[in-house]
């Protein structure tokens, strides 16, 4: 698979070289293909989504792993979070158009920027909802794996629950936490449909989080079937190749961390 | 002095607990909103006519999603037929093989496959199957989806078959049953529930996938049963109608979303129920 991608993107690698990474303009008409704006768009949306979702996934993980590991509400919550993971991403995108866009638009009116409604912030919001299940279930797993004896030792010294979490659980699961966040990042980078529907699809370097932009995945989704010309086509494939390599590296690192944590 | 410090720690403890509960509740809100929204918008659209007629052009009232419904079912059916033999046999291999280097590399490949963004799978299948034949086809969409189903089928097969006790296999082999028959007639039936569960989970995972279908199945406004021609599917129709400016089409998209979400939820619930009820117990 990797080879297919590499071979098919050779024309653009030859024609563009490193300019592909740092070139600012993406202009199929004049044959300039610089992916910098998508790289920035992708990075911005994913990081923002991680920032928004991490506190929530951590609290869900602690809620289910430490505070209330059993009980009807917890099993309901666990199932609900899993259902959240099962909903197709087009449906998220569609709901986002109807629900999140107006919210962001009114926010933008208050802040005083052009009220597009779509843009990086909107895409990040929907992404953060979509990645919570992945990191939350992982964090729950590692929280429940903290040895009982460590926690009991701390309690017997008179520690409160907050102090146990702060000084025992969090340091113990630090590597597991980072794995959860990494795997969520891998998800966020590759997510296509919901982002395509909400980011606005403009190929320029965004100046603020309210700007419309484009991510690697959304560019491919929008332009792949319309690509004319050899270089244009293979530039899009090279974008896919880049996405493939980055997500694969992230996934392998994340999985290795979890494996080490489990043993 | 000591008392104050203790009180401070106690309050901090309480505040933190409160914070955790509030944050957890907040994070359920989107799910509730989403489900309620889809159901409210979707139920009003759905009727018999919606399910059994073809989409109409903009401006004409009515119209349904029959072609997308059939297209989706066809694509998923073919994808399952492709993925199951490969997935189950790979799972069997993993459960039987000792962890040598082939096993390790194959395992890594499955892990990587699970992490590949779906749009990249779409590109790869486009290069493999669409470009050489010069035509979008339902079949290429099925191949793309079957790649996405593989990891869940492989993992569940492997894990279930590992649970099947050795004594069962040894008993069969000691009676002189050949190895292949032992695997197919003794080990497979013992773990069939877990394997089926993995297949359903895989179907649930790909049923809503849109990105790989964009450049493979492509979509088709008419009825089609030919798997070597472009075909419509539910996720694609939702995407195309959702980004269109027409109110009528949005209504169709809500109906389609409702059907898609209920399909996925029902599949997920089935796996949940069967997981607890059929769990392999020895």
pLDDT by residue (tens digit) across A5-38? Answer: 666 666 666 666 666 666 666 666 666 677 777 7
Greater confidence (A210 vs A12) lies with: A210
**CA B144-A230-B117 angle, 5° bins:** 30
Q: Could B116 and A248 be called an inter-chain contact, meaning their C-beta atoms sit closer than 8 Å? A: yes
* Residue B278 binned pLDDT confidence (cut-offs 50, 70, 90): low
Which CATH number fits the domain that encloses residue B121?
1.10.3720.10
Phi and psi dihedrals of B157, rounded to 5? -60, -45
Mean pLDDT of chain B: 82
pLDDT at B279 over 70: no
CB B29 within 8 A of CB A56: no
Contacts of B101 by beta carbon, 8 Å cutoff, 6+ apart: none
CA distance A20 to B226: 40
Q: For the domain A43-227, what is the CATH code?
A: 1.10.3720.10
SS3 A206: coil
With respect to residue B214, please indicate whether it lies within any of the assigned structural domains. yes
CB B25 within 8 A of CB A57: no
- Give the B window 135-174 contacts with A, CB below 8 Å: none
Query: What range does the domain containing B219 cover?
Result: 50-55+68-278
pLDDT at A87 over 70: yes
Q: Which residues of A touch B210 (CB under 8 A)?
A: 88-90, 192-193
CA distance B119 to A63: 34
If phi > 0 it is left, if psi is from -120 to 50 it is alpha, else beta; for residue B48 that is alpha
CB A142 within 8 A of CB A259: no
Q: Which residues of B touch A243 (CB under 8 A)?
A: 117, 119-120
CA distance B143 to B134: 16
With respect to residue B181, please indicate whether it lies within any of the assigned structural domains. yes
* Mutate: best of A3, A38, A49, A87, partner B, most B CBs <10 A: A87
Phi and psi dihedrals of A33, rounded to 5? -130, 95
Nearest chain A alpha carbon to B250: A94
pLDDT at B87 over 60: yes
CA distances from B129 to A192, A201, A226, B140, B153 (A): 21, 28, 18, 6, 23
pLDDT at B280 over 70: no
Burial (CB count within 10 angstroms: exposed 0-12, middle 13-18, buried 19+), residue B174: exposed
Q: Could A252 and B108 be called an inter-chain contact, meaning their C-beta atoms sit closer than 8 Å? A: yes
SS3 B119: helix
Q: How many residues does chain B have?
A: 282
Of residues A225, A181, A179, A191, the one with CA closest to residue A41: A191
Of residues B5, B20, B25, B1, the one with CA closest to residue A162: B20
Mean pLDDT of chain A: 80
Query: Looking at this predicted complex, what is its ipTM?
Result: 0.82
With respect to residue B9, please indicate whether it lies within any of the assigned structural domains. no
Q: Could A83 and B17 be called an inter-chain contact, meaning their C-beta atoms sit closer than 8 Å? A: no
Work out how many domains chain B is built from and give that number: 1
CA distance A146 to A257: 16
pLDDT score, position B81: 92
CA distance B23 to B16: 10
* Mutate: best of A161, A162, A195, A223, partner B, most B CBs <10 A: A162
pLDDT score, position B205: 83
Greater confidence (B174 vs B226) lies with: B174
CB A78 within 8 A of CB A68: no
With respect to residue B75, please indicate whether it lies within any of the assigned structural domains. yes
With respect to residue B1, please indicate whether it lies within any of the assigned structural domains. no
Least confident segment among A49-63, A64-78, B74-88: A64-78
Helix (H) or strand (E) holding A262: helix A230-262
Of residues A39, A183, A95, A147, the one with CA closest to residue B112: A183
* Residue A64 binned pLDDT confidence (cut-offs 50, 70, 90): confident
pLDDT at B4 over 70: yes
**CA B209-B215-B220 angle, 5° bins:** 85
With respect to residue B22, please indicate whether it lies within any of the assigned structural domains. no
Least confident segment among A69-78, A225-234, B55-64, B116-125: B55-64
Inter-chain CB pairs, A–B, below 8 Å: 177
Q: Which residues of B touch A98 (CB under 8 A)?
A: 37
> Could you report the per-residue pLDDT of B176-190, keeping only the tens digit for each?
888 888 888 888 888
Residues in a beta bridge with B231: B218
Least confident segment among A186-190, A217-221, A229-233, B76-80: A229-233
Of residues A203, A261, A251, A243, the one with CA closest to residue A32: A203
What is the helix, strand, coil percentage profile of chain A, to 5? Answer: 75, 0, 20
**pTM, entire model:** 0.84
pLDDT score, position A44: 86
What is the helix, strand, coil percentage profile of chain B, to 5? Answer: 75, 0, 20
* Residue B80 binned pLDDT confidence (cut-offs 50, 70, 90): very high
CA distance B46 to B64: 9
CA distance A196 to A213: 10
pLDDT at B282 over 60: no
DSSP secondary structure code for residue A225 in this structure: G
What average pLDDT does the segment A140-168 reach? 87
What average pLDDT does the segment B16-29 reach? 87
pLDDT at B196 over 70: yes
Q: How many residues does chain A have?
A: 263
CB A226 within 8 A of CB B86: no
SS3 B218: strand
Percent of chain B with pLDDT over 70: 91
CA distances from B83 to A132, A170, B152, B202 (A): 29, 41, 10, 9
* Residue B268 binned pLDDT confidence (cut-offs 50, 70, 90): confident
CB A89 within 8 A of CB A192: yes
CB A123 within 8 A of CB A46: no
With respect to residue B192, please indicate whether it lies within any of the assigned structural domains. yes
SS3 A213: strand
């Amino acid at each position: 698979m990797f080879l297919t991608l590499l071979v098919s993107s050779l024309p653009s690698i030859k024609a563009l070289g490193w300019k592909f990474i740092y070139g600012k303009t993406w202009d199929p008409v004049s044959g300039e293909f610089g992916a910098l704006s998508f790289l920035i768009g992708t990075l911005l949306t994913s990081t923002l989504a991680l920032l928004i979702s991490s506190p929530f996934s951590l609290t869900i993980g602690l809620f289910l792993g430490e505070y209330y590991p059993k009980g009807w509400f917890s099993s309901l919550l666990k199932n609900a979070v899993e259902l959240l993971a099962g909903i197709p991403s087009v449906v998220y995108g569609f709901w986002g158009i109807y629900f999140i866009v107006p919210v962001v638009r009114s926010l933008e009116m208050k802040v005083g920027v052009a009220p597009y409604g779509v843009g990086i912030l909107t895409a990040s919001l929907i992404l953060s909802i979509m990645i919570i299940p992945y990191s939350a279930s992982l964090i729950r797993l590692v929280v429940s794996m903290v040895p009982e004896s460590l926690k009991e030792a701390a309690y017997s010294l008179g520690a409160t629950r907050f102090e146990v979490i702060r000084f025992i659980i969090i340091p113990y699961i630090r590597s597991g936490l980072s794995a959860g966040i990494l795997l969520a990042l891998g998800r966020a980078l590759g997510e296509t449909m919901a982002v395509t529907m909400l980011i606005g699809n403009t190929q320029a370097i965004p100046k603020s989080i309210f700007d419309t932009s484009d991510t690697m995945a959304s560019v491919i989704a929008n332009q792949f079937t319309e690509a004319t010309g050899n270089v244009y086509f293979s530039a899009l494939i090279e974008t896919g190749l880049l996405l493939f390599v980055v997500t694969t590296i992230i996934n392998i690192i994340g999985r290795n961390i979890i494996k080490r944590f489990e043993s | 002095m000591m008392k104050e410090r203790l009180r401070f720690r106690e309050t901090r403890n309480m505040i933190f607990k409160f914070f955790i509960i509030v944050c957890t509740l907040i994070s359920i809100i989107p799910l509730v909103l989403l489900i309620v929204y889809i159901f409210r918008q979707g139920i009003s659209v759905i009727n018999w006519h919606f399910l059994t007629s073809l989409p109409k052009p903009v401006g004409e009232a009515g119209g349904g999603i029959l072609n997308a419904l059939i297209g989706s079912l066809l694509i998923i059916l073919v994808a399952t037929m492709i993925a199951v033999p490969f997935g189950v046999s790979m799972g069997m291999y993993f459960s039987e093989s000792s962890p040598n280097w082939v096993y390790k590399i194959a395992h890594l490949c499955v892990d990587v496959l699970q992490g590949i963004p779906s749009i990249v799978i779409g590109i790869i299948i486009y290069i493999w199957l669409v470009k050489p034949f010069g035509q979008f086809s339902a079949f290429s969409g099925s191949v793309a989806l079957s790649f996405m189903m593989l990891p869940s089928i492989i993992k569940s097969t492997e894990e279930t078959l590992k649970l099947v006790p050795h004594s069962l296999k040894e008993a069969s082999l000691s009676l002189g049953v050949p190895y292949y028959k032992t695997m197919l007639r003794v080990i497979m039936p013992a773990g069939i529930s877990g394997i089926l569960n993995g297949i359903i989970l895989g179907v649930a995972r790909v049923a809503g996938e849109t990105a790989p279908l964009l450049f493979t199945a492509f979509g088709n406004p008419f009825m089609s049963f030919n798997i070597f021609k472009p075909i419509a599917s539910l996720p694609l129709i939702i995407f195309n109608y959702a980004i269109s400016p027409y109110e009528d089409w949005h209504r169709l998209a809500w109906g389609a979303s409702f059907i898609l979400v209920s399909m996925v939820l029902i599949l997920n619930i089935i796996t949940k129920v069967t997981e607890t009820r059929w769990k392999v117990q020895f």
